[in-house]
Structure 1
Amino acid sequence: MAHQSSAHPILCASFNQDNSCFAIGTKEGFKIFDCDTGRLLYERAIGAFIIVEMLYRTNFLAIVGAGEQPSLSPRRLCLFNTVNRTSLRELNFLTSILAVRVDRKRLIVLFKEQTYIYDINSLEVKQIIDTVPNVQGLCAFSSSVDNPYLALPASTTKGSVLVYNVVDLQSHCEIDAHRSPLIAIAFSSNGTYIATASEHGTIIRVHLISDATKSYSFRRGAYSSTIFSLSFGPSSDLPDILLATSSSGSVHIFYLGFDLNERSRKSNSLLGSIIPGSVSDALDPAHHLVFHHAFSAGVRCNAVVRKIEKASGSSMPEPVVLRATISMISYSGYFQEYNFRTNQKNEATWTLEHVFNLTKTNAE
């Protein structure tokens, strides 16, 4: 999603498909950084950009200007080569581009009421999907070879999501996830699960895509908050955790590795005895940890779980100890990387490993 804001130096920010790099667009141009080292890999100062999408760690970029000068129209998509600094191809449209996604087979271009699916090599239009009005350019794209799905809002009045197979070029399913319109969507790394949040931002839900069934439901909080980003842990099977950032300036971590059919712990509590299981799962604090004031409240922040590690406790009854590397890009212009840990008592610690100003970093 492209976000223009005169109040913040960053106009857009996105991680690449394996979260090894990230790109930002500013009023001056765009930059690419390495997540592990924080090193600036590439920059181009030629005007404002609202979309900068990478293809893994290749020299291929899909970029869209902010329209502050004629050569950077928001209706023009430029496929850019960072090695020789030239345009590989330009695609011009009649309306503004709201979002772009790319993988090794497909190029996805979103507009307010249509989504174009291209073959990435020939740039042949494979399919045009007519959609409900999608003014925010909300979408999620799984680049998994086995599950090449695109997710789009399917309603403007409720939180329904269309899951579309971009290789077979057919609808896979439609999921009724929330009562209110969607605000955030994300796929797991293998494309088997999808996480959703509505405009209310109080409940985060996770669905198994193969049969469009709800697997998890988590309560973020009692009061409404805008969910800025969702990110699963990088597991090839069931992800261990789901990460969410919100307009309150908090980062929320939800555990996915528990048994939904296990009720013995809840039955011992008054709340567990009177609330149905699906609801009590959403209220259970053992599956939800919050890092308050992780970034400035009200400032958009994109965050991903880049690495995860688990280690068994000293005895079998002990729960698993989990460590994760979490990277965050704040639109106020900062990159932060945290080491997140939980112990056997489900106590969490956050250690700030790196922080640097994205707008003042120059190429060496």
Structure 2
Amino acid sequence: MLYKYNYLGLVGGGLNPQFPTNEVIIWDDLERSVVIRISDMPSRVCGVRLRRDRIVVILEQMIKVYSFSVESELLVEFETARNSNGLCCLMGHADRALMAFPAKQPGVVRTVDLADPTISIEIAAHESPLACMAFNNDGTLLATASEKGTLIRIFDSQNGLKLHEFRRGTNPAVIYSISFNHDSTLLCVGSGHGTVHVFSLSGSSITYPKRAESNFLKKYISAKHSFVRIQVPTVTKYNQVPFICAFGAEPQSLIVICGDASYYKFNFEKTGDFSRQRFSVFLELNE
């Protein structure tokens, strides 16, 4: 969806796709009609991102950037590592056109300024392939997680400097969602174990353990741990319903929306305590 506007980016999928899987549809929900159609992609479309002046199409090993117009023009394209999940972050602010996506090497993030695609850096974020990433509100910070899902890292998006390293746990997990709060003082991370972890960005988390400690212990100690851990009731490692998490409008509130159409709102304290404030199911997916 384009910010607060009525445009939706649609891609065919499922058992009986409404549209071809190698085509992008821009739908005007106010007019109830298709306004832009980008066809004949060389492979399946894995994702779409929108901003007021750009349409970003994520393919399995390529990203294509088009102008946002009825006669969309291909402006630039980038090769990527295999990216079947359509991993890509795009800043929607009018004054910043920053985009992040997997580079050709596994575990490496590439950031590009779409206003001038020659402005680009690569960040060696993880040893394993990337699984999730997110910008903060102004695009100055980039959070990343790998397919292993044990460490979350935060980088300066301008120079690639690692600023924070957080440990979600020691057992691998799928990372579904990463989100900063409005003023970039907190980070929430949702995993396939059904947990939401909240980390504080206050101060630097890059520390240096004593030389005598083992490599594993060094990594464990040097990474900062969450101060809040919430178990989403309907999601467990045995019932892995995908979900997204984000901070609410009120201070110290969290919103969780699950793939089974359930909605949760939690409040949390600096002590680590939390309480569930609301639960709803919005629709019956079988109808």
| Fold shared per TM-score above 0.5 | yes
What's 2:44 paired with?
A: 96
Q: For structure 1, list consecutive stretches of 5 or more residues without a partner in the other structure.
A: 1-53, 310-322
Deviation at 1:57, TM superposition (A): 1.9
Q: State the Cα deviation string for residues 257-284 of structure 1 (Å, max 9, x = none).
A: 12458x8xx9xxxx779669886341x4
Q: For structure 2, list consecutive stretches of 5 or more residues without a partner in the other structure.
A: none
What's 2:261 paired with?
A: 333
Deviation at 1:152, TM superposition (A): 1.2
The answer on whether the counterparts of 1:64 and 1:72 sit within 8 Å (CA) in structure 2 is yes
Question: What is the root-mean-square deviation of aligned Cα atoms in Å?
Answer: 2.5
Q: Which has the larger radius of gyration?
A: 1
SS in 1 for 2:199: strand
If asked which structure has higher relative contact order (CA below 8 Å, sep 6+), I would say 1
2:81 to 132, 142, 145: 132
Q: State the Cα deviation string for residues 297-335 of structure 1 (Å, max 9, x = none).
A: 2221111123353xxxxxxxxxxxxx2x22111112212
Quote the Cα distance in structure 2 between the aligned partners of 1:70 and 1:295: 29
- The within-5 A match list for 1:279-318 is 280-282=221-223, 284-285=224-225, 287-297=226-236, 298-307=240-249, 309=251
Deviation at 1:167, TM superposition (A): 1.8
Distance change in 2, residues 1:70/1:360 (3 Å): closer
Distance change in 2, residues 1:259/1:179 (3 Å): closer
Quote the Cα distance in structure 1 between the aligned partners of 2:212 and 2:94: 44
Residue-pair matches, total: 277
2:159 to 166, 190, 211: 211
The answer on whether the counterparts of 2:245 and 2:257 sit within 8 Å (CA) in structure 1 is yes
The answer on whether the counterparts of 1:153 and 1:162 sit within 8 Å (CA) in structure 2 is yes
What's 2:25 paired with?
A: 78
Distance change in 2, residues 1:204/1:108 (3 Å): same
Q: If the length of structure 2 is used for normalisation, what is the TM-score?
A: 0.87
Q: State the Cα deviation string for residues 83-109 of structure 1 (Å, max 9, x = none).
A: 221111222123221000011121101
Quote the Cα distance in structure 2 between the aligned partners of 1:272 and 1:350: 35
Please tell me whether residue 196 in structure 1 is matched to residue 124 in structure 2: no
Please tell me whether residue 166 in structure 1 is matched to residue 120 in structure 2: no
1:254 to 190, 199, 206: 199
Percent of matched pairs sharing the same residue: 25
Q: State the Cα deviation string for residues 13-56 of structure 1 (Å, max 9, x = none).
A: xxxxxxxxxxxxxxxxxxxxxxxxxxxxxxxxxxxxxxxxx112
